Structure 1
């Protein structure tokens, strides 16, 4: 007869726990500083993998070990994507997709860290009705604003995209419209990206 092992979670014993909470799929956090880009190839080489997380405990360990979103150097980005999907348009999972984006004025200050965290938790917690269609999320620190963009797999699936957009709007707690644009793979200008959906 084997002796029963006492199950201790991080909530019971933060230092000596023996049980973890698995995520549905692993997620990988990436970082890049786009202000140092000189070409697509140097940008690709400049995207650095920070860590892949398979459990809730690993997520919090990484989240608490990296800079707050608002403290990133101007021009840099955090990317949290499903493991196996690289944070670039050319990845096969992203190639036919697009993104929901929202700009926050810099005057929002530290509050933007909460918006980023809530978006991360919605992704890794699979709270979107069409969660399998969510590829990842990007936080961009720019000179005049902060931007959060949620990437999806299929820009042609209007129902899925709009479901994701409506939920993201709730997660961010914003009232103004969110806009969805398809990824522009190739030399097309991002400034000419066509808005496909709005919620």
Structure 2
């Protein structure tokens, strides 16, 4: 069954799906914008055709950001912001996949009171995997509201930490 564009359910924002592929090359050369989507149906079509984070090779990343924002600290929209970071213990792949999906759905569904400061989400497949929700501002009340909602909605058992992009020191944790 083919759905016409008039029958699709539009998202509040258009989103770009990015992949970081090969850490052997220069970082910016590896960051590839694969596609964009702006409807619920287009997202689910993409989801069913992409690998789950647990199926990626170590060193690869996925990112979903509002269209026009690159998933890099140097992008103008990210320079004055930071990120909420969820760390995963080794071999929690089923948890990583589930929290990635739930986080993306929270973001593209605009389920945050301060959704305007959210830029996107990144999943890093590493020795210790992580999911980071990037913001364009580290305004304490807005950032804390986002962190609390993430922790509650995703039922993350461990503390999650907020880092300003240019530091490794946690500014907030919930």
TM-score class, shorter: over 0.9
Q: How much does 1:195 deviate?
A: 1.2
8 Å CA contact 1:34–1:77 kept in 2: the answer is no
- Identify the structure with bigger relative contact order (alpha carbons < 8 Å, sequence gap 6+): 2
Q: How much does 1:112 deviate?
A: 1.6
Counterpart check, 1:58 vs 2:46: no
Q: How many residues align?
A: 172
Counterpart check, 1:197 vs 2:172: yes
TM-score normalised according to structure 1 size:
0.83
Aligned residue in 1 for 2:54: 70
Unaligned stretches of 5+ in structure 2? none
8 Å CA contact 2:53–2:62 kept in 1: the answer is yes
Counterpart CA distance in 2 for 1:129 and 1:16 is 34
Q: How much does 1:99 deviate?
A: 0.4
Aligned residue in 2 for 1:8: none
Aligned residue in 1 for 2:129: 146
| Deviant stretches of 4+, over 4 Å | none
Counterpart CA distance in 2 for 1:100 and 1:148 is 8
Q: How much does 1:102 deviate?
A: 1.0
The superposition leaves residues 140-185 of structure 1 with CA deviations (integer Å, 9 ceiling, x where unpaired) of 100x221000000112x1000000101111232113211111011x
Q: How much does 1:106 deviate?
A: 2.6
Q: Point out the structure with max Rg over C-alpha.
A: 1
Aligned residue in 1 for 2:162: 180
Aligned residue in 1 for 2:120: 136
Counterpart check, 1:20 vs 2:11: no
TM-score normalised according to structure 2 size:
0.94
CA RMSD of aligned residues (A): 1.3
The superposition leaves residues 4-60 of structure 1 with CA deviations (integer Å, 9 ceiling, x where unpaired) of xxxxxxxxxxx13230000001001100036324xxxx2112100111001011101
Counterpart check, 1:124 vs 2:108: yes
Counterpart CA distance in 1 for 2:2 and 2:73 is 41
Counterpart CA distance in 2 for 1:171 and 1:77 is 23
